[in-house]
Structure 1
Amino acid sequence: MRPLAEFPAEARRALRFLLTDIDDTVTDEGRLPAASLAAMERLSAAGLKVIPVTGRPAGWCDHIARMWPVDAVVGENGALYFSYDRSERRMHQGFAKSAEERAADRRRLEELRQRILETVPGSGIASDQDYRLADLAIDFCEDVAPLPDHAVAQIVRLFEEAGATAKVSSIHVNGWFGQYDKLTMTRRCLSERFDLDLDAANAEIVFAGDSPNDQPMFAVFEHSVGVANVRDFALEAPPRWVTQGRSAAGFQELADAILDARG
């Protein structure tokens, strides 16, 4: 990982899209600072499309798409995207699975929920679980006492033994049935809502993240940026650039770097 200061100004000027994780990337200790929203507003005013790409639930994504200064949001680690057209007053949606498939998955996840809670002492169900459509989020440090690494690994193993995909964020282990991830739904969102081919336009996109579940994005984007707390994890696919600031301060640092390059 190279310092953000080495991100060439010419490449920053060419950016048209900023994709970003939410938890511990634009937030700070679980809260969304006004400065992060202001950074998104400034980026949007400068002509960039801003798209959060998160593990957070569909219910939150509806709110984010409507209320934040963003152009779309990818949620539940790639299970869906929402994009609110303010001129039409219409929410555009895309889902990785049908409603029938999601209902069947929900029944399997309910069984897995009980198994994980009984097997891993101290684990909990994420407080936002009731607003999810497609995945199960196990809390290991947001609203429960932080669990040791071996307990987090055990949660991942229980998901995988049941045939589910499991990804670790900075606060949750998210599990779901299916092969989608943040990257697959981001491709679809960019294509359907912005008529953009991700591979052809790679140099026009920057992605910011902080944790292992961002690795599919780090691996693909030429301009991937980790906020400084990404160094807390040993990643097989790290970001290309890293900020000096942690969490929200790092996101604001990235926004400033993009806007400074644009004059």
Structure 2
Amino acid sequence: MKPLSQMSLEMARSIRVVLTDIDDTITTEGMLTAAAYGALERLHRAGFLVIPVTGRPAGWCDHIARMWPVDAVVGENGAFYFRYDRERKTMQQRFWAGPEELKRNRAKLDVIETEVLASVPGAALASDQAYRMADLAIDFCEDVPALPEAEVDRIVSIFERAGAQAKVSSIHVNGWFGDYNKLSMAKTLLADGFGMDWEEAKNAVVYAGDSPNDEPMFAAFPLSVGVANIQTFAHRLTSKPAYLANGHSGEGFVELADLLLRARSA
């Protein structure tokens, strides 16, 4: 990972789309700071497409798509995208799975939930689980005392034994049934919503993240950035971001935004 300061202005000037994780990438210790939110707004006003790609739930993503200065949002690690048309006051939604498949998957996730909570002391349902449509989120440090890494791996293994996918974020283990992830739905959104094919996207997108569930994005996009706290998870990453911000969490995101805006103005 090269320092973000080494990204050339020419390279930064080629970026038109900012895809970004939310937790511990835009937020800092669970808070959305004025500086980080302001960075989103400055990017949006400057004409960048700004799209959070998050593990957070459908209920939160409806709010984000409507009320944040963003062009769309991918949620629940790729289960869907929401795009709000402010002129028509309509929400476009696309889910990876249909209603009946979501219902069947929920029944299987309920079984996993019971096993995880019975087998891993200290683990808990994520506080936002009630607002989720496609996945199961297990909290290992957001609202509970931090679990040892071995226990986090144990949660992952319970999901995987049941045939589910499982990804570790900075706060949750998210598990789901379905052949999708952040990358697959981000590609779908860019094509559906913005007419951007994959070859074009690879040269016009930067992705910012902080944890293992961002790894498909780091692997796919040549211009990818980790905020400084990603170093906590470096040993869990096969594919690391190309660049590393100096700042942690939201400060690192502001650092990236400042670079992109400086390159565009130059």
Structure 1, gaps ≥5 residues long: none
The aligned counterpart of 1:33 is 33
The aligned counterpart of 2:214 is 214
Mean Cα displacement is larger for which, 68-77 or 11-20? 11-20
Q: What amino acid sits opposite 2:139 in the alignment?
A: D
Residue 167 (str. 1) matches residue 167 (str. 2)? yes
Q: What amino acid sits opposite 2:31 in the alignment?
A: R
TM-score, scaled relative to structure 1: 0.99
Instruction: Give the alignment of 1:48-127 within 5 angstroms.
Output: 48-127=48-127
Q: Please state whether the residue corresponding to 1:109 is helix, strand or coil.
A: helix
Percent identity, please: 58
The aligned counterpart of 1:251 is 253
Using the alignment, how far apart are the partners of 2:13 and 2:118 within structure 1?
52
CA deviation profile, 1:45-79 (whole Å, cap 9, x unmatched): 11100000000000000000000000000000000
Structure 1 ranges of 4+ moved more than 6 A: none
Using the alignment, how far apart are the partners of 1:197 and 1:11 within structure 2?
20
CA deviation profile, 1:198-237 (whole Å, cap 9, x unmatched): 3333111100000000000000001000000011112100
Q: Please tell me the root mean square deviation across aligned C-alpha atoms, in Å.
A: 0.6
Instruction: Give the alignment of 1:111-260 within 5 angstroms.
Output: 111-233=111-233, 234=235, 235-260=237-262
Using the alignment, how far apart are the partners of 1:251 and 1:132 within structure 2?
26
Using the alignment, how far apart are the partners of 2:39 and 2:120 within structure 1?
39
Aligned residues: 263
Using the alignment, how far apart are the partners of 1:119 and 1:199 within structure 2?
45
Structure 2, gaps ≥5 residues long: none
Q: What amino acid sits opposite 1:220 in the alignment?
A: A
CA deviation profile, 1:22-61 (whole Å, cap 9, x unmatched): 0000000001111111101111111100000000000000
Q: Is the 8 A contact 1:11 1:203 kept in 2?
A: no
CA deviation profile, 1:107-139 (whole Å, cap 9, x unmatched): 111111010000000000000000000000000
Using the alignment, how far apart are the partners of 2:161 and 2:246 within structure 1?
38
Q: What amino acid sits opposite 2:229 in the alignment?
A: N
